[in-house]
Structure formats: structure tokens, C-alpha cells
């Protein structure tokens, strides 16, 4: 039998402190960059430098790899070399108040324009009020009114003069102006008038009629004269208002002469101010009233907001391109929003309430988003895609997009978008999104894939040390001596689950260094050594291993049935791994198999109970293929078998127990007991080869802890795939137990090697005649399967004979039924 036991030096790949060329990390140059990520750095630099549409970046890799730090470093370095983007602001649209206009300004001038607009509003009020309260204005208006009064008086005087020449009086009464004949300077009454000669009466009546026509003509002219005068006053008002504010706008027009959109807006503002100059004049009666009470406006009159500038985005002239990290990438936080204010119980809005989103702030620069957070926000992913595809930022409310709200709202003018978006997420999100959304490859053409591990050699070990030196310098930790660095290197290999590789999970290593520094401080050490690093590792495990301890306690108390000595037929100790958060641990599970005569089915009880995952189910089906291919080639596979994880009440997934299940099945068929002091892990293929599995270190340690708790006998051990030897980085207590001969780790590459270890019988190979040796385990298995097949054939022959005796001669031919399943689950003849 081939020796499968592993040597202690195969169980743990040490990092010899003597191989390190420094005493402490204080002697090392801190690492300026990221180790082992050159491919990701090259992809990131390419994506940042590529300026064509669609070359946004998706940075993928496990959390804790330093993705954010690398993206921040590269993006900010590149952004500092780029030009500062333009400022953007929204102003009132005098043609359509519901569509605010967007103004683009050179960097830094947005703040100036906003400041100038605020000063302009104050100056406009002072200038207009001042001119309309001046003596000159009062004099000119008064002269216009006096001219009107003089014209009116002159017209009436002329009529009165004509009336006096004809002995007719022009009388002003409360009901109006009337005409009456005079006699000796006194008005005649009706009786006296009728006593006059007819000829005099007719003459007077004719004169009065003529005077009435003149009076009617004058009265008709009075409103026209009043209107003309009012127009003259209004023209004067506009003239004075224009004169009063002209110099204010001339200064601004000269300042912003090179910005045509700004000067055009200022011209519209100037025209609107002249048109609505009265809004600047004091008017106490213009305040709103509620229940008879005058209300004060808290935010100034509406005209003040009308001429304001809503500075949406401002930049420092010397700041470089913006780099924006949006932690909550909701739809509104990305594309902006229009806010509302409450006024007398109603909501109102205007262009001053338009707010910028992350796309506005990052416009002309870089926007960094967490992919998972983005996808969790309703409509955020669609909103981002729409903005990138259109090349513009259009602020729309979710109510408008979903057509849930039809009320009139603002529609701000879209702003052109030029931005480089960097999404950061794990690989599952990237591949799932690329499968479900074909637009991902159109908009995010550059995938920056981080390595999660890299080769372990002298160079990478030195880079690990420099990485620790960087952390020591940045966070003012105690220096690490060479033994402490060596222990972190070994832990890096453990995290990588490979003694020939090192983990790229920078967060775990940084946390370990920080915690080791803490324990060094607790013990009053000036340097951090291997003991402090190990103390930190033990403390991390101790904080997370409550469930592991509970399972071990229940195994020790006999609640969970696990045998670690003796032998049993059809029973084997399989090994499983449980992951709880960031902590993983292994524990043994009893796997049993039962076999009998049947139709070739291997029943997976876990699958039937819907507790087995698809990969585990696949592993069981592979067992069935292995049995069919190896044994009884001349006979049908005539067994019925059942496999189960005993005392398993949760889900079972993965194929790492398929070899253990096969061993239990072979033991049951051969009726040969399996050693219970050996635990098994490894997957198997249809050719009987044992394949690598994950979590090998945790699985070995899980069985070791159970054996150690009950007492190590020297015969206990674990069987693993040979392909997993390079992954071994076991705890020192396990390595020491193996070195002392109290525990063993075996590596096998085939089912035959494993079953020979577990049963003590040789597996056996087919001879020249095609048969297995009778005393071999394979010979026993095949003999049992041949017996099943012959028994099934005999039952079928007997059944066919009974059917022939009972059937009439002219009965049609019927194909014999092989059997039916009885109520007890046994195969019985039909």
C-alpha cells in the first residue's frame, strides 16, 4: 500500500525570519502603491485616459482588496492634472417661467455672477426708489398733472365764455354740469322761461343745444387727455427707471462682455426691471392677508427671486477636475431634484429651488459609485444609464418619469454631461449585471479586475513587509520585528488558502497589524513580534467562534453523534465547513449509506428533502455514474441505495463530501467496516479520481479539535485530496501533533487509495480475465452487485413463467414488468 501520510513540513509552509534582511519595519521604505495589482492598475489607467464615449470603468473584486484606495489614488492623481470644468447656474426664463435656463460660466465666475446678482437686486431697489422719491420726479409729474388741469380748465372756460356771450350760465351741480338761461345776470326758472316770447325761447334752446354739444365734446376728450397724461407719466417713469439702472447694467455688461449668454440674460433682466419697476417701490397694501391679518414674507418679495442666480455648481479655478464619491446614489442624489417650499398651505417652486446631483458635481471629472448601493436604489441605475447615453443631465422627478404625478412642474434646461464614471463592486454583481443588462458592455467598456492573491516568493514577502511599514507610518503603529512580519506573511498564505500564494485582502492584513499593535501596547512592548500577531489572530477567532464551540460541546456531550474510534459498516465521518460572516470553521458530520436489491437508483435523501443544493445533487449522481462504469459491466446495476447526512437540519451544498458518500456506499455493498478514527473530504469524478475541495485547513482542524477534546490516540487523522496538499497552512498545534505521531493527515488521489485506508483491505485491480481479486474490496462490491443482478433476473424469469401459465393462447404479447414498489418501499414481484 502506498504511503499516503504527509510529513509535518508539508502541512505548513513557514516564513523563516532569518530570510528577511531587516530587523524592524522602521528600516524599510514604505510601499508607495499596491502590491500584485499591476494588471488592475494598467486597466484603471487605460480607462481613465480613454476619452471616447462608453469607456467608463467597472472595478471588480472581493471587498477589502483596496479597490477604493487604488481608485482614489489614480483618479485624484489624474484629476489634479486636468483643467477645471465650467460653473453652471440656472436663471429665470422670461419667455417660459417653467423652463429655467442654464448658463455655463468659466470656473470661478459662477460665484461672482451670483454675488453680482445679489448686489444688483439691492442696488436696483435703492436706485429706483431713489429716483421716484426725488424732487425732480415729483416736479415733472406735477407739471404734467397741472398741464392736464390747465387744459381741462381752458376747455371749460371757453365753453363758459361762449355761454356768457349768449346769456347762458354754466352751472356745476352735484349731478354734473348743466346750462341755464340768464336774465339780468340771474338764471331763469322754468316758469319764467316759458313766459319768454317764443322767438327768444327758440333762440335760447338753440344756443343751449350748441353749448351742450361743445360741452359733450369736451367731456369726451377728458379721459383721452387723462390717458395721454398717464402715458406721459408712465413714459417718464420708464425713462427715469431706465436712466436710474442703466449704469448698474453697464458695469455688469462690461464685466461679462465675453460671455454672450450672460449678457443676453442681463439685457432681459434690465428690460424686465424697467417693465416691472413698481415691484421695487414700497407698497404696504401688497402684503397677503389671512383672516384679516397682514402676513410678512420671510424670503423677500417674488421679484427678488426672479432676478437671482441659482448657482448650481461652482469650482475653484486652481482645483483641477472634480472627483466625487457619492455614498448614497439615489436617483435624486445622482441627477438632481427640484425642491418645493410651503406657502400658505400650498407647495410652490421656482428655478431657485433646483438642486444639483452627483452628476452635476462630477461633470467634467470623475464620479465614483458603489455598484451594489446604486442597484439597490429605485430608478438610479436607469437614470445613470440615461444620462450617460444622452450625454446630458436632465432633472426630472420620479413622479414625472413614472407618470404618477401630472401636476405642472419645472423642466430645467438639460446640462451637457462629460464625466468618467467608476463603479466599484464584487465580481458577482458585475457578471450578473452583464448577463441581465446588455447595456453594461456599451457604457462600461473597461473592467478593472483585482487579483485576490499572488505568488508567494522572496519579492512578494518583501513587499508584504513594506506594506506593513506603510501602515506603521500612516497610522503611527509600533514597528514590527522580522518575526512579526514573518507571522503576518504566513497568515497571508492561510487567508489565500494556499501555501504557495499570498492573500491580496489588504483589509484583513491591515486589521491584523492594528490589533497586533494593540496587544503589543497592552504588554508594554516597543515592537510588535510574532507573539503579538498570534495573540491578535487568536483574539479574532475567540470573538467569532461561539457557534463552533457550541457544536464541539454538543459532539463531546453526545448530542451530535460522531464516532472517532472503532469501525462501522456504511458509516463515515465527512467534513464540512460553515461560514458565519468572516469566520469559517470545520466540523465532522456522520454520513451513512444503506444498500439493497433495486433498480440502480442512488437515493439522495438530502435532495429528496429539499435540503441538498444542486452541486451536492450533482455529486451524488456522479457516484451513480462511477458505480455503473466500474462494476458489473455485463449486468444491469441492480441496487437501491440511500445516502444521508445524519443530524443535518440545514442545507447541504457542495461536492466535497462526494468521496465520503462513495466510501460509505462501497462499505455497505462490501459489508466491510470503515475506520471511524479517520475523517474524509474530497470530491470524486466518474473515473474515481479524488478532486480538490475548499476549506481544507478548517476541515482538518475541525476534526482534530474533536479528537483532541476526547484524547488523541495516534491513529486518528484526516484523508484529503492530494491536490489540496499545496493549500495546507494548518495551526501549529495540529502540525505538532502530526510531528509527535498523535495525529495524521493522508493525501489520496483515487477512490482506491482512500477506501484501502479506511477499510484496511486492498482495493484491487481487474486481472487479465476482467475480474477483481475476491479478497479485495472491489471484488466484494462487484460480487454483491452480481448477486443483486442475478437475483433480479431470477425474479423476472419467475414472474414471466407465471404470466405465461395464466395467459390464454390467443392473448396479445405483454412485456414483463420488472417489479413494483410496495407500500413498505421494498421491491416486490408484480
Catalytic site positions? 656, 699
60 neighbors 450 (Cβ within 8 angstroms): yes
What single string gives the DSSP state of each residue in 681-710?
--EE-TT-BEE--S-HHHHHHHHHHHHHHH
CA distances to 14, 378, 447, 489, 512 from 731, rounded to whole Å, are: 11, 47, 38, 14, 17
Beta bridge partners of 574: 589, 680
How open is the CA angle 175-176-182, to the nearest 5 degrees?
110
The C-alpha cell of 563 is what? 464516532
CB 619 within 8 A of CB 655: yes
- What is the number of alpha carbons within 13 Å of residue 362 lying toward its C-beta? 27
How far is CA 158 from its chain centroid?
89
Contacts of 593 (CB under 8 A, 6+ apart): 570, 571, 641, 642, 643, 661, 664, 665, 667, 668
223-233 burial: b if 16+ Cβ within 10 Å, else e: eebeeebeebb
CA distance 315 to 86: 7
DSSP state of 296: -
What distance in Å separates the CA atoms of residue 274 and residue 280, rounded to the nearest whole number? 10
Crossing angle of helices 135-165 and 198-255, in 10° steps, is 170
> What b/e readout covers 70-107, taking b as 16+ CB neighbours within 10 angstroms?
bbbbbbeebbeeeebbbbbbbbbbeeeeeebbbbbbeb
User: Nearest 10 degrees: CA dihedral of 618, 624, 625, 629?
Assistant: 160
Please provide residue 701's backbone torsions phi and psi, each rounded to the nearest 5 degrees.
Answer: -65, -30
Residue 325: left (phi > 0), alpha (psi -120 to 50), or beta? beta
| Angle, helices 482-496/458-475, rounded to nearest 10 degrees | 110
φ, ψ of residue 326 in degrees (nearest 5): -100, 110
Instruction: Write the CB contacts of 111 (distance below 8 Å, at least 6 apart in sequence).
Output: 87, 311, 314
The pairing of beta strand 186-187 with beta strand 289-290: unpaired
Q: Judge whether 48 and 57 are in contact, CB under 8 Å.
A: yes
Cα angle 302, 307, 312 (rounded to 5 degrees) comes to 105
User: Helices 751-759 and 658-670 sit at what angle, rounded to 10 degrees?
Assistant: 60
486 within 8 A of 464, measured Cβ to Cβ: no
Element (DSSP H or E) covering residue 58: strand 57-60
Residue 292 CA: distances (Å) to CA of 146, 285, 297: 38, 12, 16
Mind giving me the DSSP string for 81-103? TSPPPPEEEEE--SS-TTSPEEE
In the 8-state DSSP scheme, what is residue 61? S
Question: Which region, left, alpha or beta, applies to residue 825 given φ > 0 means left and ψ of -120 to 50 means alpha?
Answer: left
d(CA 674, CA 667): 7
Distance of CA 285 to the CA centre of its chain: 54
Amino acid at each position: 500500500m502506498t504511503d499516503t501520510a504527509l510529513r509535518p513540513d508539508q502541512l505548513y509552509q513557514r516564513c523563516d525570519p532569518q530570510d528577511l534582511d531587516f530587523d524592524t519595519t522602521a528600516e524599510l521604505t514604505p510601499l508607495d502603491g499596491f502590491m500584485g495589482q499591476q494588471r488592475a492598475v494598467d486597466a484603471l489607467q487605460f480607462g481613465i485616459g480613454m476619452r471616447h464615449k462608453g469607456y467608463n470603468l467597472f472595478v471588480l473584486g472581493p471587498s477589502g482588496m483596496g479597490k477604493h484606495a487604488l481608485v482614489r489614488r489614480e483618479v485624484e492623481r489624474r484629476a489634479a492634472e486636468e483643467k477645471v470644468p465650467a460653473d453652471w447656474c440656472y436663471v429665470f426664463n422670461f419667455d417660459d417661467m417653467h423652463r429655467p435656463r442654464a448658463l455655463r460660466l468659466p470656473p470661478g465666475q459662477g460665484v461672482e455672477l451670483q454675488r453680482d446678482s445679489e448686489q444688483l437686486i439691492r442696488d436696483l431697489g435703492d436706485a429706483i426708489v431713489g429716483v421716484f422719491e426725488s424732487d425732480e420726479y415729483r416736479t415733472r409729474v406735477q407739471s404734467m398733472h397741472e398741464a392736464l388741469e390747465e387744459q381741462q380748465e381752458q376747455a371749460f372756460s371757453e365753453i363758459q365764455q361762449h355761454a356768457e356771450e349768449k346769456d347762458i350760465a354754466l352751472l356745476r351741480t352735484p349731478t354734473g354740469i348743466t346750462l341755464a338761461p340768464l336774465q339780468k345776470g340771474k338764471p331763469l326758472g322754468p316758469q319764467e322761461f316759458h313766459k319768454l316770447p317764443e322767438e327768444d325761447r327758440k333762440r335760447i334752446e338753440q344756443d343751449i343745444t350748441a353749448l351742450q354739444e361743445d360741452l359733450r365734446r369736451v367731456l369726451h376728450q377728458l379721459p383721452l387727455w387723462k390717458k395721454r397724461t398717464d402715458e406721459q407719466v408712465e413714459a417718464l417713469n420708464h425713462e427715469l427707471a431706465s436712466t436710474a439702472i442703466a449704469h448698474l447694467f453697464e458695469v455688469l455688461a462690461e464685466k461679462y462682455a465675453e460671455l454672450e449668454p450672460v449678457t443676453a440674460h442681463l439685457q432681459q433682466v434690465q428690460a424686465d426691471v424697467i417693465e416691472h419697476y413698481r415691484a421695487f417701490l414700497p407698497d404696504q397694501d401688497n402684503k397677503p392677508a389671512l383672516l384679516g391679518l397682514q402676513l410678512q414674507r420671510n424670503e423677500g418679495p417674488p421679484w427678488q427671486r426672479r432676478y437671482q442666480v441659482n448657482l448650481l455648481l461652482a469650482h475653484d479655478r486652481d482645483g483641477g477636475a472634480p472627483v466625487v464619491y457619492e455614498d448614497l446614489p439615489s436617483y435624486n442624489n445622482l441627477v438632481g431634484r427640484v425642491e418645493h417650499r410651503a406657502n400658505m398651505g400650498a407647495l410652490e417652486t421656482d428655478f431657485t429651488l433646483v438642486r444639483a446631483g452627483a452628476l452635476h458635481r462630477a461633470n467634467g471629472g470623475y464620479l465614483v459609485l458603489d455598484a451594489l448601493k446604486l442597484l439597490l436604489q429605485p430608478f438610479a441605475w436607469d437614470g445613470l444609464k440615461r444620462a450617460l447615453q444622452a450625454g446630458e443631465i436632465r432633472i426630472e422627478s420620479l413622479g414625472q418619469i413614472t407618470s404618477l404625478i401630472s401636476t405642472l412642474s419645472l423642466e430645467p434646461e438639460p446640462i451637457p454631461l462629460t464625466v468618467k464614471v467608476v463603479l466599484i463592486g464584487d465580481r458577482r454583481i458585475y457578471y450578473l449585471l452583464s448577463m441581465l443588462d446588455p447595456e453594461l458592455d456599451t457604457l462600461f467598456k473597461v473592467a478593472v479586475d483585482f487579483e485576490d492573491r499572488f505568488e508567494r516568493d522572496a519579492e512578494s514577502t518583501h513587499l508584504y513587509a513594506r506594506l506593513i511599514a506603510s501602515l506603521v507610518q500612516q497610522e503611527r503603529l509600533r514597528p514590527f520585528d522580522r518575526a512579526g512580519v514573518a507571522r503576518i506573511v504566513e497568515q497571508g498564505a492561510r487567508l489565500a488558502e494556499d501555501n504557495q500564494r499570498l492573500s491580496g485582502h489588504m483589509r484583513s492584513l491591515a486589521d491584523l497589524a492594528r490589533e497586533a499593535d494593540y496587544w503589543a501596547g497592552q504588554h508594554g512592548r516597543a515592537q510588535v513580534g510574532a507573539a503579538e500577531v498570534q495573540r491578535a489572530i487568536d483574539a479574532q477567532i475567540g470573538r467569532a467562534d461561539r457557534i463552533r464551540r457550541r457544536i464541539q460541546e454538543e459532539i463531546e456531550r453526545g448530542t451530535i453523534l460522531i464516532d472517532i474510534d472503532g469501525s462501522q459498516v456504511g458509516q463515515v465521518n465527512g467534513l464540512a465547513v460553515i461560514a458565519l460572516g468572516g469566520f469559517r470553521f470545520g466540523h465532522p458530520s456522520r454520513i451513512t449509506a444503506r444498500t439493497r436489491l433495486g433498480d440502480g437508483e442512488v437515493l439522495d435523501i438530502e435532495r429528496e428533502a429539499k435540503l441538498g443544493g444542486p452541486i451536492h445533487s450533482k455529486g451524488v449522481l456522479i457516484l451513480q455514474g462511477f458505480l455503473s462504469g466500474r462494476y458489473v459491466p455485463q449486468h444491469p446495476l441492480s441496487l437501491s441505495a440511500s445516502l444521508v447526512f445524519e443530524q443535518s437540519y440545514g442545507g447541504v451544498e457542495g461536492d466535497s463530501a462526494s468521496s465520503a458518500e462513495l466510501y460509505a456506499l462501497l462499505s455497505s455493498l462490501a459489508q466491510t467496516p470503515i475506520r471511524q478514527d479517520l475523517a474524509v473530504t474530497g470530491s470524486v469524478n466518474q473515473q474515481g479520481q479524488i478532486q480538490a475541495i475548499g476549506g481544507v485547513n478548517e476541515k482538518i482542524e475541525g476534526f482534530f479539535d474533536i479528537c483532541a477534546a476526547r484524547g488523541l490516540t495516534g491513529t486518528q487523522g484526516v484523508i484529503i485530496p492530494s491536490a489540496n496538499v499545496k493549500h495546507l497552512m494548518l495551526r501549529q498545534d495540529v502540525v505538532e501533533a502530526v510531528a509527535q505521531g498523535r495525529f495524521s493527515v493522508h493525501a489520496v488521489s483515487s477512490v482506491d487509495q482512500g477506501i484501502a485506508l479506511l477499510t484496511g483491505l486492498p482495493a484491487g485491480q481487474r486481472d487479465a480475465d476482467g475480474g477483481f481479486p475476491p479478497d479485495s474490496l472491489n471484488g466484494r462490491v462487484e460480487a454483491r452487485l452480481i448477486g443483486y443482478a442475478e437475483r433480479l433476473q431470477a425474479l423476472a424469469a419467475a414472474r414471466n413463467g407465471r404470466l405465461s401459465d395464466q395467459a390464454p393462447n390467443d392473448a396479445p404479447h405483454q412485456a414483463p414488468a420488472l417489479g413494483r414498489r410496495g407500500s413498505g418501499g421494498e421491491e416486490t414481484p408484480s
